Structures are given as structure tokens and as C-alpha cells.
Amino acid sequence: MQQALLHGFITFLRQCGLSRALCFSAALLAAVLQSQATIAETENPETPWNWSDEYVKSQVNQVRAGRNLNPDSWPGGAKVAVLLSYDVDNETVMGLRTGEISIGALSQGQYGHRVALPRVVKLMDENDIPATFFFPAWSLKIAPEQADLINASGQHEIAVHGWIHERNTALDAETEERLLRQAMDEIEAISGRRPVGYRAPSWNHSPDTLDIVRRMGFLYESSLMHDDRPYELLQDGEPTGMVELPVEWILDDAPLLNPLGNRYMNPRDVMQVWIDEFDKAWEEGTMFLLTMHPHVIGHRSRIVALEGLIAHIQAKGDVWFGTHEAAARYVRSQAGMD
């Protein structure tokens, strides 16, 4: 079947008057794709120890880190960049994305936008720190006043974090793209500006995610963990021109501050972890990117830890605070990507 389609495609190209070289290139591409499909069909997912070298490399190389984009210095000659980001999940992770509706859990979600987000934005504005707020579209649709609160100072960024915090890996490509386009349209309609940044729900990519993100023209991506520094994403070994601003679970409040989890830490202990991470980033002259969630960090005992971290960073000096968008545009310009 595949050979018949390939032969028909080449015949069509020749009938259109295209060169033999182009036909050969098309044939070569189709042959590679056919070879990859054949390999995938013969590899048993239950016995990875038997996988061929070619198959392992094809899986590993789907999305990888390319060139380091860390600049020699940050805006204003600063030694380190500090990017504070908030995933404003609220009700989407409290049952909506799974369909397991619980009144108690949803009340925690409302705390996120009713109490916690105002507390977080107030802290950012009092310290004149620009931040990036990643929204699942439904989180913003439920409480659209969040956009006005964030936009009031004119220094923050609103970016996209999916439609309803869906699991990308459970979706086919068509559905994943449809939901992301819906999310972009809704967030633009409510916030007044089309997002330029993407963070995948649950920080994971399906085999189709990067294709979709590139097709939609995003400026940057912020879901992966190949490095501590900004870098260019590779797809199947080829440079994409996409800036990755990497995340990390130890630089995320949710796993470490969940009182119902077995990894729970005292907020002041978490603050010390983050201080140590920042100090090393400062020493290396790189980037400190922290991911938080208003419904987590916005509680009183936890906001104290964030206040302590900010005070430490400000006392250290030689720091540039920026949104993810500003950081992505800066590293692109420094790397000659524009």
C-alpha cells in the first residue's frame, strides 16, 4: 500500500513538470518515513532491552536539547536572569480535567483565584517584579477578572497552559491541536493579547506537541528539562528555531508543598532549596526559573517563603527579573536567531 502511494506521488510530481531531483528527494523522504514505521511496528514495547539501536535513537531524538542559548550577560549587564512563573490551574486540576467532580476540591480551585492570585500579584507589584502567568483556558474562563488583575501593572505576561489542563499524551493529534487553538483564542479574547508562550499541561509532550507548537508560531516553549539554561530545541536531530526555557520539579512548589503527599516539606525548607538553586545560578551566570501555582504558593505560610526568597535575590544584586517572553526575545537576539 505504502509503495503504491509513493509511486503515485512521484508520478504526480513528474506530471507537474517537477525535476527528477525533487522526485528523488520526495522518494527518499517517503522511504525514510516508511522505514521508521516498519521499525516501530516490529519493536515490542514490553521488551525494551531487545530494541534495536536505530529504534532507541529515534525515540530519544524526537525532542532534544540543541545549542545553549545562555547569553554572556543579561539585560543591563546582569549576571543572572530570574524568571518567576505561575501556572494558574485552579479548578482545572481540581477535578475538571479528569471529570472527577468534587465540591471540596473545586473549593480549593476557587481559593486560587479568589484569594491566592491577588496575594501573589500584590507581592510581584510591590517588588516591581514582572512575572509570567500560564493559564489553562478554562481557568481564565471561570474567573476572567484574573486577566484584569494581572494586566493592571502592565509588566506581566499571560501565556497558555492548555485548554482544561488536558493530558496531551492521551489525545490524538487533531484533538490536541484543536484544544490548543481554542485555548489561544479564548485567552486572547479575555486578556486582550494573543499568548506567545506555551507550557504543556503536566509538563509533558505527546509525539505531536512540538509539531503543533511550531505550526502555531509560538515564540518559546517552557515544559522540558534538558538543561538549566535556555536552549534551542531539536526535533529528530534538526534545529527548530524554538527557544526552550526549561523547568524542573525541584523548582516547582506543587510536589514539595502538597500536605497530602509523601514528599511534603516545610515551606521554609523549600525556600532554602530555592535559595541554593538561585545562588548556584548566580555563580554560573545563567538562569533561575521558578514555577509556582497561586493555589499552592498563595497560602499565608507559603507566601512568607516566597517573600524570603525574593529578599535574598534582591540582596544578592546583579539580577535581571523578566517575563518568559522578554527572556526568550533577548536570548534569540543575542544568538542571532531573528
> Residue 37 above 70 pLDDT?
no
160 C-beta neighbours (distance < 10 Å), count:
27
| 179-196 mean pLDDT | 98
Q: Give the span between the Cα atoms of 144 and 191, in whole angstroms.
A: 8
| 151-166 mean pLDDT | 98
What pLDDT sits at residue 14? 47
**226-237 pLDDT, tens digit each:** 999 999 999 999
What pLDDT sits at residue 7? 45
What pLDDT sits at residue 127? 98
pLDDT band at 41, cuts 50/70/90?
low
Predicted TM-score (pTM) of the model is 0.87
- The residue type at 33: L
pLDDT band at 29, cuts 50/70/90?
very low
The CB-side HSE value for 49 (13 A sphere, CA atoms) comes to 0
Identify the weakest region by mean pLDDT among 40-49, 205-214, 275-284, 290-299.
Answer: 40-49
Domain ranges of the chain: 2-60, 65-334
The CB-side HSE value for 202 (13 A sphere, CA atoms) comes to 16
What pLDDT sits at residue 125? 98
| 290-305 mean pLDDT | 97
Please answer whether residues 251 and 238 qualify as being in contact, where contact means their C-beta atoms are separated by less than 8 angstroms: no
| 200-222 mean pLDDT | 97
Cell of 288: 533561575
Q: Give the span between the Cα atoms of 38 and 43, in whole angstroms.
A: 9
Cell of 246: 526549561
Question: Mean pLDDT over all residues of the chain?
Answer: 91
**90-142 pLDDT, tens digit each:** 999 988 998 889 999 999 999 999 999 999 999 999 999 999 999 999 999 99
CATH topology of domain 65-334: TIM Barrel (3.20.20)
What pLDDT sits at residue 5? 43
pLDDT band at 17, cuts 50/70/90?
low
pLDDT band at 204, cuts 50/70/90?
very high
pLDDT band at 4, cuts 50/70/90?
very low
Q: Give the span between the Cα atoms of 33 and 26, in whole angstroms.
A: 11
**247-297 pLDDT, tens digit each:** 999 999 999 998 888 889 999 999 999 999 999 999 999 999 999 999 999
Element (H, E) at 307: helix 300-316
| 50-72 mean pLDDT | 96
